[in-house]
Chains A and B, each alone.
Chain A
């Protein structure tokens, strides 16, 4: 789903590069993609980290370290969620008049949500609290995923929060490509954009 959005964004962006609102919309969708995707990456334990030190310890110590680490992650997500909620609710209640720079807010959508009074839509452009909604929403998901990971580590199903060498996957794909060099079915891959 994210992927389709992403593809749409690119298409729209490239073909309408003079439309400022398309550009702004792209940046918002980008932010949504990353914050939403970050929770998915937690679920997949795909976030990058340093495992070289932890791997040197005994299994028991590793487990304790992992529990401390996941507690830190939960603290992070909890504080961020609190801040995100404060931020968003300020925009929703007190600063609801603030609009984005360029993205229009179509009349019919405003009608749908009862934002039209006496035939006059309340907004010309998208109110800021709409794009910002991803903050409390995304961080709730991130917090939830970290809690799930904590349970997993506690039960012993998981040993780490981070990808053990993010490169492993790349390497597997590279091997596949290497085995039947040429137009193989291996998915195109690359390092984390470095």
Chain B
């Protein structure tokens, strides 16, 4: 618990404290802050939606009741539509491209895009690349036609599945397993970590390794609170935060690969796509980009495309 005189930093998130990329990153951040900034600042982490769920946490932050949170990027719809860029299918070839984009000038500018509304991004935390699964094999985009896919609340993801001729259904994450099992929905998209830890593969025909999109979190804080911190505290916090972010983001790839293997070991089917198949999926989904270009801005979109070329 915090001592008197320390600046209290409440970090609220919705995942388990252990075994999940976000939960582990938050725990590591708290450990470092409480160790290195003892006497100056103190971080309390509230996992598992104990304090607030993802829909409420940003409001609570603006009311001053929590100082840090890490909602998935699609939760920032109401503050800026620019973050829709991360939901676009097949925009990034792999997680390295995502890294390059986030580190670029455009990606860093995005962190400040909500300051007028009171929120400040500190950095991006990866969950990983998304894979597709359904109750039948998905090898070509036509296979998805007519199927019901669970999505998070996001207009981009809705458009993505509509482009396939599929039927997107918004559903809370906690209800997905049951919905897949009883056939309320036929399929879903998620990272290997989520597919393994929530055992979605058990109730699906198989998982197609599509890497078609990214599932990331934005670590966010209240601009008012952050700018009101003493300069030394703020810079020390930011340094610790950046270290933790680098370390954990590198880990997230390993965690996802390990979970992919665990799915196979547990008897799940994993289907890889050959180059032609992948191209077909990309072609089917790409029209979605144009639809949201206005919200995102052409410059940013071009910067994202450029991040695929490693140099």
Residues in A68-115 with C-beta less than 8 Å from chain B: 87, 90, 94-95, 97-99, 101
A14 contacts B by Cβ under 8 Å: no
Q: Which of B55-63, B128-136, B175-183, B260-268 is the contact stretch?
A: B55-63
Cβ contact of A87, chosen from B55, B63, B118, cutoff 8 A: B63
A54 contacts B by Cβ under 8 Å: no
Kindly report which residue of chain B lies nearest to residue A98, judged by CB atoms: B78
B78 touches A20 (CB 8 A): no
- Assembled-state Cα–Cα distance A98/B117 (Å): 10
Total interface residues in chain B, CB < 8 Å: 9
Instruction: Give the A-B pair count, Cβ closer than 8 A.
Output: 18
Which of chain A's residues have a CB closer than 8 A to the CB of B117? 95, 97
Kindly report which residue of chain B lies nearest to residue A87, judged by CB atoms: B63
- Assembled-state Cα–Cα distance A20/B152 (Å): 13
For the complex, would chain B's binding face be called helix, strand, loop or mixed by DSSP majority?
A: loop
For the complex, would chain A's binding face be called helix, strand, loop or mixed by DSSP majority?
A: mixed
Cβ contact of B62, chosen from A20, A95, A99, A101, cutoff 8 A: A95
Total interface residues in chain A, CB < 8 Å: 10
Closest 8 CB pairs between A and B? A98-B78, A99-B78, A95-B62, A20-B170, A101-B153, A90-B63, A97-B117, A98-B59
A-B contact pairs, 18 of them (CB 8 A): A20-B170, A87-B63, A90-B62, A90-B63, A94-B62, A94-B118, A95-B59, A95-B62, A95-B117, A95-B118, A97-B78, A97-B117, A98-B59, A98-B78, A99-B78, A101-B55, A101-B153, A128-B59
Chain B residues packing against A (C-beta within 8 Å): 55, 59, 62-63, 78, 117-118, 153, 170
Chain A residues packing against B (C-beta within 8 Å): 20, 87, 90, 94-95, 97-99, 101, 128
